[in-house]
């Protein structure tokens, strides 16, 4: 029996992917870095950028939130994602070889185009692989911990891998500012523990311990979540302004993926979006499910090394000259346009994956991996 989809979680996936596209438009497109600090457009661009940075943590939190409640562990989806990656790389290479032959000047150009991870492109997909492979072990660990132990584990992980590096401004534990499987594991555990807390509650727990007080404060928080998200972004922008003014640098560590502010922004979005669409009409839920299912295709297509360099890299710098209120609308419009175009193309890949030969291939590989990786006795009861 398939679990009923939560519309808010589909919305969260769509919002996260829009944030990632917006991140690429602002940074790769040149909007973020072309203006000077004395220009108002500089601060508008940076504020939008800080909001978009939270998208990666939101995706990672979602993986834990959804992964914890899996009744059946299966790697079919993982193998399908890997198939999707190489399917689109092959298609894009063929199309660009005909449309833009000057991009392919050597054998190395073909290697990079067919397998972008070789030059660290698609870093999130590569770093997510160990998270997925460790998922049954992580879930087994979290189910055998008491709630108090799980809470304490989350606090220790966030303190060690987020708060301390941000405050000391050093990558003490070599987590590469959040560009790592280690940080995605931290987010997975936080997301999974959040889901367990929501399922089990805190009835019967005694004591006034810090972790329980934090959990109850988050659960009972009355402030509008969207307002808090934008407020945290403003605080980060204010910190950047203060550091540039007083110290001459912008405290890079406070705005990386592993920053406690960025993590808090992503967590706020997860909780707010999850709760906010309970009464959504059926057509809206269906639309969000369709767009959410295409999110990985959107990521692979628009972030392909040659698509990115040819259509996006440095192409939007002129947007800083737009009126201040138009800049956010421009970035949102470009992100939505890219998302919809790629989501439409994703239907081709989905049709291919529904064919029997491809299903048989993916099923054979995932079946072998499942039997080796996750014995049935590890799974929770249905």
pLDDT computed for residue 1 by the predictor: 36
What residues have CB less than 8 Å from 236, skipping those under 6 apart? 50, 254, 255, 259, 261, 262
On whether the CB atoms of residues 193 and 139 are closer than 8 A, the answer is no
Residue 10 scores a pLDDT above 50:
yes
Global confidence as pTM: 0.90
**Token output for 107:** 């054998």
Angle between helix axes 147-158 and 210-219 (nearest 10 degrees) is 90
**Token output for 36:** 């000077």
Residue 374 scores a pLDDT above 70:
no
Report, in this order, helix, strand and coil percent for the chain, each rounded to 5: 75, 0, 25
3-state secondary structure 197-262: HHHHCCCCCCCCCHHHHHHHHHHCCCCCHHHHHHHHHHHHHHHHHHHHHHCCCCCHHHHCCCCHHH
C-alpha pair distances (Å), 139 with each of 134, 150, 209: 9, 11, 24
pLDDT single digits (tens) 71-117: 666 788 888 999 999 999 999 999 999 988 888 888 899 999 999 88
**Token output for 128:** 């997510």
pLDDT single digits (tens) 271-305: 899 888 878 899 999 999 999 999 999 999 999 98
pLDDT single digits (tens) 131-151: 988 888 898 899 899 888 888
Residue 380 scores a pLDDT above 60:
no
């Amino acid at each position: 029996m398939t679990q009923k989809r939560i519309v808010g979680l589909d919305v969260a996936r769509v919002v996260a992917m829009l944030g990632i596209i917006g991140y690429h438009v602002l940074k790769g497109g040149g909007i973020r870095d072309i203006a000077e600090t004395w220009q108002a457009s500089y601060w508008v661009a940076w504020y939008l950028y800080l909001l978009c940075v939270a998208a990666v943590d939101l995706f990672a939190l979602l993986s834990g939130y959804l992964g914890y409640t899996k009744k059946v562990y299966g790697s079919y989806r993982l193998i399908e994602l890997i198939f999707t990656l190489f399917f689109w790389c092959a298609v894009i290479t063929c199309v660009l070889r005909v449309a833009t032959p000057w991009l392919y000047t050597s054998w190395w150009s073909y290697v990079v185009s067919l397998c972008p991870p070789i030059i660290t492109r698609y870093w999130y997909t590569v770093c997510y692989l160990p998270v997925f492979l460790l998922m049954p072990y992580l879930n087994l660990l979290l189910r055998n911990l008491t709630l108090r132990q799980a809470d304490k584990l989350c606090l220790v992980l966030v303190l060690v891998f987020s708060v301390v590096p941000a405050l000391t401004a050093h990558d003490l534990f070599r987590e590469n500012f959040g560009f790592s499987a280690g940080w995605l594991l931290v987010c997975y555990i936080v997301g999974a523990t959040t889901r367990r807390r929501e399922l089990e509650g805190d009835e019967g727990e005694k004591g006034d311990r810090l972790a329980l007080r934090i959990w109850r404060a988050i659960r009972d928080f009355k402030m509008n979540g969207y307002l808090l998200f934008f407020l945290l972004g403003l605080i980060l922008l204010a910190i950047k302004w203060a550091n540039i003014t007083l110290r001459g640098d912008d405290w890079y560590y406070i705005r990386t993926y592993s920053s406690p502010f960025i993590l808090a922004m992503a967590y706020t979005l997860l909780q707010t979006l999850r709760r906010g669409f309970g009464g959504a009409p059926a057509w809206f839920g269906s639309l969000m499910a369709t767009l959410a299912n295409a999110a990985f295709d959107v990521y692979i297509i628009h972030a392909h090394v040659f698509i990115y360099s040819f259509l996006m890299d440095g192409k939007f710098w002129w947007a800083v000259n737009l009126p201040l209120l138009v800049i956010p609308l421009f970035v949102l419009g470009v992100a939505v346009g890219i998302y919809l175009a790629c989501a439409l193309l994703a239907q081709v890949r989905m049709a291919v994956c529904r064919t029997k030969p491809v299903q048989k291939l993916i099923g054979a590989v995932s079946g072998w991996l499942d039997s080796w990786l996750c014995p049935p006795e590890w799974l929770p009861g249905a």
